[in-house]
Structure 1
Amino acid sequence: MMAMAARSLGYRVQVMDPDPSCPARFVVDACFEGNWNDARAAADLARGSDVITLEIEQVSLACLDAAQKFAPVRPGRELMRIIQDRILQKTWLAEHGFPLGPWRAIESEEDLVKAAAEIGPRLFVKSARGGYDGRSQVKLGFGDATTPAEAWKLLGEKPCVAEQAVELDREISVMVARAPNGETKSFSSAMNHHEKQILAWSVIPSSIRAEMENQAQGIAARIAQEFELEGLIAVEMFVTKSGNLLVNELAPRPHNSYHASERACVTSQFEQAIRAACDLPLGDVSVVQPAAISNLLGDLWFDKEGNCREPRWDAALAVPGVRLHLYEKHSARPGRKMGHLSAVGATPEEAVERVLEAQGKL
């Protein structure tokens, strides 16, 4: 999706991916095969590039250093070093005065036992490095029999963070773009609904009250400025039932919760990512119409007996205002994001209703 936006601006595009037949392969000029630790492949990519940007935060610092020798890498190394490690990320946010829920850095089983006593009993325990969409996470104190010792083993006996399960009213995110020249623009907040720690649907705008919108925008913009961001950053936040706003996590790339920006906003997050990376004037982020997306997980490709089948795209597309976006991934499997549906509406609620109606017909 970033590559297609870059194409519309007249750029040639190269990508590095572990899979030489990755989805982007069919819309780019060249594909360099290399995993996220392959510094040589990163250098090969950079030699023929004017600027490098990212769409996944797992790329190693060694790759960024190798690429940086030949072309600017945006976002920058220091930002990536902090965001790649949840302990460093939480510590940075706390040190800069951003609102967080109670949390603890976990370096041992004993640390986790202590955290359960101090900020538990209900905890989300997440690996410090890697993992998203609910992976590399364990829940404690939610009525199951998982003990701190078992959770520590399930997470590989490696550093992690323990977060208190706060009483949520809703989850939102704010996407900020900042160009190397310092120009900064923030999209309206998106409201996000998760199921099993995976984003199920999202809508722009979020319809939170104006005072909270201003607060969320201020937090996200200040994070971008403190990092001296060059690119995009999505700031995921919790709205608690007591009316507080807490930062959850940061993602320095286009984000699933802003896929609806293609239809809701004058400029999509994908085009904005290219503009920011290439130091172009940032695009207008005004909301033209409310829009929602619903993620299509690999589970949809299987019936109750486990037989593979094609979902009923024709039935979903019969719903007014609905579009289909598939990612050209080779194989479906449970929990894998294969694409999304999008829908527009006169209100955010109508957009969500339409996209969920379409999903229900698949």
Structure 2
Amino acid sequence: MTRLGIFGGGQLAQMLTQAAVSLGVETVIFERGADSPAGRLTQAEIVGAWDDPALLDTFAGRCDLVTLENEFIDAAILAGLEARGLPVFPGGATLALVQDKLLQKERIAAAGIPVPAFCGVAAPEDLRAAAGDMGWPLLLKARRNGYDGYGNATLRGPEDVAPAWGRLTRGGSPLLVEAFVPFVRELAVMVVRGRDGEARAYPVVETVQREHICHIVRAPAPISAAEADAATALAIAAVEAVAGVGIFGVELFALADGRILFNELAPRPHNSGHYTIEACVASQFENHLRAVLGWPLAPTELRAPAAVMVNLLGRRAGPVGPNALRAALAVPGAHIHLYGKRESRVGRKMGHVTALGATLSEAEDLALRAADLVDI
């Protein structure tokens, strides 16, 4: 049996492990804290710091190859495993490009892919200079370790610079600034790319954010065929530009004039692709496993005309009760997933609901009805 090591033990590793069971693949979870959602699903769990030499030795000895569920691990750790001869996908070089958003943008722009204007900034004064070139508002971002709106700040004018700079530099990451994009829709595409370079894209989806956290995903996005084709081609080109292997979530902006701009990509399963579990011929998790293992990729088409996913975000702080899903399970056709997080807090991703339908409206009504009944 193949043994796949996964850095991280959260919900993405949990769903990768669930997919691995069906393919006869054993997972080895390496997580920094005990009692992780994925760690509970396997007897092969290592707990501790990812850069601990002894634990890395143990991890490497128990795995045939390695992948990851987030981009927060230092790329040098992956490169060290590769130097031992252990296959790692996505590789250390890819992660080094992707986990620093400035390097990521530079590589994507160098590939000829359209991106918003951007530049690195080393001091608050640089933002005022950037505003002279790009105009207000601006988007200030941490170059590393930002997600779900953490690590981002919108600057409406000079008065926003000092507080945003202080907040975002507190974590120690250098920053970059981007021109604000007046998009009409936020789009995303899941792209899977195999070891042999074959790439397949899932349908282009529309994502709706709430407080910088993905709230709703609509598949397929309600855009023209020309826009969908352009978004798909852009997303595949972005993954090829970073030599990605595995599943990648590519986030895009749709502009009023029909143009598509690259926003950023994630080198792992992505929230905008969770709908694929029920809605597509093969899920993003199955295709990630196929890609990193060097196996044939699976089809990515939808099983129904439309699908909508709604994130289940914590509404209060406290433990998750045993009957949290009871009322929602009475909604026929709603596929409900909880991630096994023992404690809820306001805004925390606790699970998701997916519904299929003949139309986006039908699927969204069903998914929202079930989501509203989940007691978290």
TM class by shorter-chain length?
over 0.9
Residue type matched to 1:108 in 2? A
Report the CA distance shift for 1:211/1:5 in structure 2 as closer, same or farther (over 3 A): same
How far 1:181 moved relative to its partner?
2.1
After TM superposition, list the pairs within 5 Å mapping 1:1-362 onto structure 2.
1-68=15-82, 69-141=84-156, 146-156=159-169, 158-289=173-304, 290-299=306-315, 301=316, 310=321, 313-362=325-374
Which structure 2 segments of 5+ residues have no match?
A: 1-14
Between the aligned partners of 1:39 and 1:110, the Cα distance in structure 2 is 41
Between the aligned partners of 1:228 and 1:86, the Cα distance in structure 2 is 16
Residue type matched to 1:3 in 2? T
Between the aligned partners of 2:285 and 2:56, the Cα distance in structure 1 is 22
Contact 2:320 2:343 in 1 (8 A): no
Contact 1:75 1:229 in 2 (8 A): yes
Contact 2:30 2:59 in 1 (8 A): yes
Contact 1:134 1:198 in 2 (8 A): yes
CA displacement, residues 124-158 of structure 1 (integer Å, 9 cap, x when unaligned) = 2110111100112222108xx95212221111265
CA displacement, residues 245-277 of structure 1 (integer Å, 9 cap, x when unaligned) = 010011010000000001110000011111111
Between the aligned partners of 1:46 and 1:291, the Cα distance in structure 2 is 39
Between the aligned partners of 1:162 and 1:40, the Cα distance in structure 2 is 39
Between the aligned partners of 1:134 and 1:325, the Cα distance in structure 2 is 23
Residue type matched to 2:348 in 1? R
Contact 2:107 2:242 in 1 (8 A): no
- TM-score norm. by structure 2 comes to 0.89
Between the aligned partners of 2:39 and 2:190, the Cα distance in structure 1 is 27
CA displacement, residues 272-316 of structure 1 (integer Å, 9 cap, x when unaligned) = 1111111110011111112221111122x45xxxx7774853332
How far 1:61 moved relative to its partner?
1.8
CA displacement, residues 311-342 of structure 1 (integer Å, 9 cap, x when unaligned) = 85333233231121011112111221111111
CA displacement, residues 34-65 of structure 1 (integer Å, 9 cap, x when unaligned) = 33444543332122111111110111123212
Between the aligned partners of 1:114 and 1:246, the Cα distance in structure 2 is 23
Between the aligned partners of 1:50 and 1:118, the Cα distance in structure 2 is 50
Between the aligned partners of 1:29 and 1:184, the Cα distance in structure 2 is 33
Between the aligned partners of 1:53 and 1:30, the Cα distance in structure 2 is 15
Residue type matched to 1:164 in 2? A
Contact 2:186 2:206 in 1 (8 A): yes
Between the aligned partners of 2:222 and 2:60, the Cα distance in structure 1 is 42
Contact 1:43 1:63 in 2 (8 A): no
> Superposition RMSD on alpha carbons, in Å?
1.9
Between the aligned partners of 1:31 and 1:50, the Cα distance in structure 2 is 15
* Aligned residues between the structures: 355
Stretch moving more, 344-353 or 187-196:
344-353
Report the CA distance shift for 1:169/1:40 in structure 2 as closer, same or farther (over 3 A): farther
Between the aligned partners of 1:353 and 1:123, the Cα distance in structure 2 is 35
Report the CA distance shift for 1:208/1:41 in structure 2 as closer, same or farther (over 3 A): farther
Contact 2:75 2:93 in 1 (8 A): no
Between the aligned partners of 2:159 and 2:45, the Cα distance in structure 1 is 43
Residue type matched to 1:280 in 2? W
Residue type matched to 2:56 in 1? A
